[in-house]
Structure 1
Amino acid sequence: MKPTRAAAVLIGSLLSAAAAGQLAEFGIEGMGVVSTPATEVRGSVSPDGQRIVWGSTDRAGGAGGWDLWQAHLRDKRWAEPEPLSINSTANDFDPLLSADGRWLYFFSNRPGGHGGDDLYRAAVKPEGGFGEPENLGPGVNSAGNEWAPTPSADGRRLLFASNGFGGAGRHDLFVARWNGKAFVDPKPVPGINTAVDEFDAAWLDGGKALVFARSDRAGEQPIQLFVAECDGQTYTGIAPWSLSFNSAEGTTLGPVVDPSRPNEMLVSGAARAPAAGKLDIYRTLAPSRRGKAGCLPGHESPP
């Protein structure tokens, strides 16, 4: 894996409290705290900017399997990294804090699900802990594997990846709607899905554009991020994101918009510098793609 060298990077740790004017192309997030010699994927910052959560496949100190981690902002630096209390001995991964800060979404293959990796959420407690994880139910969980749950800002839709609801092949992107009790009726994201894997998607421009991961090796390396915009009916103009280390030979995934700094995004990958480990979490400006309404179910109310 030989990602392209960045033309401009921030040397050292770029913190969520850093001024926007300091952000060049990208910078590493939380050197030695969030980004370490282990593999860190899909960082998500709380709406108030005071907490970050992420997943790791091999960081020591968790409950076992893949685990969820968090750190808090202390004196403008990420500090006190710790595994979440809701981790199981199975795989727990792909965390995302909802835009209102009330819920932590993730996937897990813990016992009691509908099969494979299922989507869950846990309430975020006022004191900073988490409630008991709840399975999101059969409306979005199949006998296959579901990944990367991404609720809309208003909580009325859920963007996720699955290989258990049919589609174009392997993992595809779907959007489900909230019916007042559960997310149901998943529909394929128009124009995106192919015979290879599409997953790890984030909404841009209120859902009028997307950034998503694509891999032709069943979710394994290499993985590249792509952007697309809605033309009023389908997502089109699909092209690799121009982020310098997002190469066709590398591994770049886990894009998440920072709601405390909505023009910025966290993304996981392997830049030449700065680098801490196998896959690190980086902060970068979000892609500037813009589109039209019309590509999402019930699109009269944007994410």
Structure 2
Amino acid sequence: MNALASLVALAVAVAGLLGGDASREALALDPHAERFAPGIASTRYSEIRLTLSPDGRTALWFSRDRPGGEGGHDIWVSHLQHGQWSAARPVPFNAPGRDFDPAFTADGRFVLFCSDRPGGLGGDDLYRVPVQGLQFGAVEHLGSAVNSPANEFAPMLAPDGGTLLFSSDRAGGAGGHDLYVARVDDGQLQPARPVAGAVNTAAQEFDATFLGDGRTIVFARAQDFGSSRVEQFAARAFGDRYAPGMRLPAPVNDGASDSYGAMLDWSRPGTLTYSARRGDGASLDLYRVSYRLPPSLSIPGPPVRR
């Protein structure tokens, strides 16, 4: 049996919105995930939200507790050289506070990230930094169209560059952190609004990524950040609305430990990265897993009106 035949099917919930048969819509996951760069990126410390450049030669992630950074949460980088990942080092645009949730854009020209550095609107805000080869440019605040006095997490620009996806615990949502989108018109971010449909609940929804079709999202959900397990879900837009999402199976969720920090791998079509506690459960490691959209999800649907 080949790897494709052994993919595990996950039903993506659509019945709650459309009254249809959810079992006919599926996202398939390879049953085996690859631990990314053991000893370099995945270590005894917690590493979260792996993002890879489109050419596959630069990897970024963040750590809450890895020594050697500016302090607090720091973003780390490694480069693929002669088939091996280089020793990880903190990126030069880290600040003394919290810098986290990096995400390359599809063209590799920018890295989006979160920070509580001075000069924002309050809490954790969304920023971007240009990338030129192996160098990073000047950090830019993404502005009040998407940032607020509350906290914004996990920015991700859709594959076509037309929509920014992130989460926020600002007032006006369904409760806790909710998923938001902001349209990009002529290079300018438009005011953000909650993702339409049933995906946002009274729980915490965060750490979302578009998949390669630009319509399916994978995101994390927890009833409470401090006391409940964090698991990952998938949902797809039908028209302009997202279904509540259905829990992903193994290897992404194992039923016993936290899993979050999903990100589309720009360097490998049909691949998702994520963070999870495995083994001794002491820290979060970085993983890659292949996914496949079934034919019914691969056929373009009506445009998502945002």
Q: TM-score range by the shorter chain?
A: 0.7 to 0.9
Q: Which residue of 2 aligns with 1:209?
A: 216
Distance 1:206 1:241 in 2: 18
Q: How well do the aligned residues superpose, as a CA RMSD in angstroms?
A: 2.3
> What's the CA shift for 1:79?
1.5
2:289 counterpart of 1:281: no
Distance 1:57 1:137 in 2: 25
Distance 1:205 1:50 in 2: 20
User: Which one of the candidate residues 261, 271, 274 is aligned to 1:254?
Assistant: 261
Q: Which residue of 2 aligns with 1:297?
A: 305
Q: How does 1:1-303 map to 2 (within 5 A)?
A: 25-126=32-133, 128-164=134-170, 166-190=172-196, 191-218=198-225, 221-236=228-243, 238-244=245-251, 246-272=253-279, 278-286=283-291, 288=293, 290=297, 293-294=301-302, 296-298=304-306
Distance 1:164 1:278 in 2: 29
> What's the CA shift for 1:165?
5.0
SS of 2:111's equivalent in the other structure is strand
Question: After the TM superposition, which of the residue ranges 49-58 and 71-80 deviates more from structure 2?
Answer: 71-80
The amino acid of 1:177's aligned partner reads R
Question: After the TM superposition, which of the residue ranges 212-221 and 81-90 deviates more from structure 2?
Answer: 212-221
SS of 2:107's equivalent in the other structure is coil
**Alignment length, in residue pairs?**
275
Distance 1:124 1:150 in 2: 16
Q: TM-score, normalised by structure 2?
A: 0.83
SS of 1:185's equivalent in the other structure is coil
Q: Sequence identity, in percent?
A: 38
SS of 2:86's equivalent in the other structure is strand
Deviations 1:249-294 (A, max 9, x none): 4210011111110111111001228x8x600001111353627645
Q: TM-score, normalised by structure 1?
A: 0.84
Deviations 1:100-126 (A, max 9, x none): 000010000011100100000000023
- Consecutive unaligned residues in structure 1, runs of 5 or more: 1-6, 9-22, 299-303
Distance 2:65 2:303 in 1: 37
- Consecutive unaligned residues in structure 2, runs of 5 or more: 1-5, 8-29
